[in-house]
Amino acid sequence: MTTNSVLISEVGPRDGLQNCQAIMPTAAKKRWITALAAAGVKEIEVGSFVSPKLLPQMADTGEIVRHAIEIPGLEVAVLVPNLKGAQLAVEAGAHKITLPLSVSETHSLRNIRRTHDQVIDEAKAISDLIQTLPEERRPHFEGSLSTAFGCTLEGPIDEAVILRCAERLMAAGCDEVGLSDTTGYGDPMSMKRLIRAVRGVVGAENLTGVHLHNTRGLGLANVLAAYEEGITTFDSSLGGLGGCPTAPGASGNVVTEDLVFMFESMGVDTGIDLEALMATRELVQAALPDEDLYGFTPRAGLPLGFKGAPVPVAAE
C-alpha cells in the first residue's frame, strides 16, 4: 500500500560529512541545516556522537544539535554508537536517536567495536536511560539494521540473522527498526522481500523507514520498491554525499534532490521546495570546494511547467 505523502530525512550533515576528507566549519553546518529546514525538510540527521578522534568531522555535534532544535518544526536526529553517545544526545536535546546494529557482525566490530550481544546491551541501556526522562523529553529511539542487504566484508547475510536482530532490538526497547543498505547491495526484489520478512516479525508499524545507498545505481529503484511496500520515510543526502568509512566500496547515498523530484513528479507530497533545496548546494560547495556533488535534477534543471505534487486540501 502506498500513500500520497512521504518524509524525506536528510542525512548529509551526518552520513555525508563523515565520508568527506575536509571538515565543514561549524558555522557553515548551521547555515546549511537552517537553509534545508527553510526549504521544507522536516527531519535532518545533524551528526553523530562518536569519538572525535575517529571522526573529527563530527566533533561539533553537540553544538549543532543545540542550534538545530531551535528551528521551529524541525525533527533533529543523531546517530549514536553506545550509551555514552545517547547520554550526550539527550543532554543536547536531540529528538531522535538511531543506534546502528550491523547484521554483519564483522562489520559491527569494525564499525562500532561491538558484537551483536554488546549492541543489544547498549540498546537496553539506552532504552532505560530514555525511560528515566519526562515523557515530553524522551527522544524517539530507532535501531538501524545496517548491512541488511549484504556486506563487503561478509557477503550475503542469512535472513534468519537479520530477523533475529530485528526482534532483539524491539525487545531491548527500540521504538522501531529501520533497514539500511549500507553497501548498496540491494535491488528492488530483495528490498520488497526483506521489508515483508522484517515486518512479519516486528509488525508493519515498527518498520517505516529505509536508508539506501546508490552505490550501483539502484538507489531510486529501491526507493520506489520500498514505497510500494508502504515505507514512508526515506533517508537521503544532498548531492549524494556520504558512505560508510568502515565498509570498503560503500559510497554514495541516494541524492535528495533526485529523490524529491521523483516523488513530486509522481504526485507524492514531500513538503519540500525543490528550487530552495537545490540552492543549498551552493552553501555545501562553498564550504567543501574539493567535494563532488552528484544529482541529475540539479544539473538538468526542472522541466518547463513543473509544479510538483498538488497541495492536499484540508478537510473542513
Return the beta strands (E) in the chain as ranges: 7-10, 43-48, 75-79, 96-102, 140-146, 176-181, 209-212, 233-236
315 part of a folded domain: no
* pLDDT one-digit tens code per residue, 80-114: 999 999 999 999 999 999 999 999 888 888 877 78
152 part of a folded domain: yes
Residue 57 in contact with residue 18, Cβ under 8 Å?
yes
54 part of a folded domain: yes
Domain housing 105:
7-300
* pLDDT one-digit tens code per residue, 173-228: 999 999 999 889 999 999 999 999 999 999 999 999 999 999 889 999 999 999 99
265 part of a folded domain: yes
131 part of a folded domain: yes
pLDDT at 287 over 80: yes
Angle in degrees, CA 257, 259, 264, rounded to 5? 95
Rounded-to-10 torsion of CA 40, 296, 240, 192: 90
Rounded-to-10 torsion of CA 49, 241, 277, 137: -20
* pLDDT one-digit tens code per residue, 44-70: 999 999 999 989 999 999 999 999 999
- What is the per-residue pLDDT for 243? 63
- What is the per-residue pLDDT for 152? 85
306 part of a folded domain: no
254 part of a folded domain: yes
Q: How many domains does the chain divide into?
A: 1
CA distance 39 to 271: 9
**244 noted as active-site residue:** yes
Nearest to 16 by CA among 272, 276, 184, 253: 253
Q: How confident is the model at residue 314 (pLDDT cuts 50, 70, 90)?
A: very low
Q: How confident is the model at residue 247 (pLDDT cuts 50, 70, 90)?
A: very low
Catalytic residue selected from 151, 165, 174, 244: 244
CATH number of the domain to which 97 belongs: 3.20.20.70
- The C-alpha cell at 152 is 563487503
User: Considering the chain, what is the average pLDDT of its residues?
Assistant: 93
263 part of a folded domain: yes
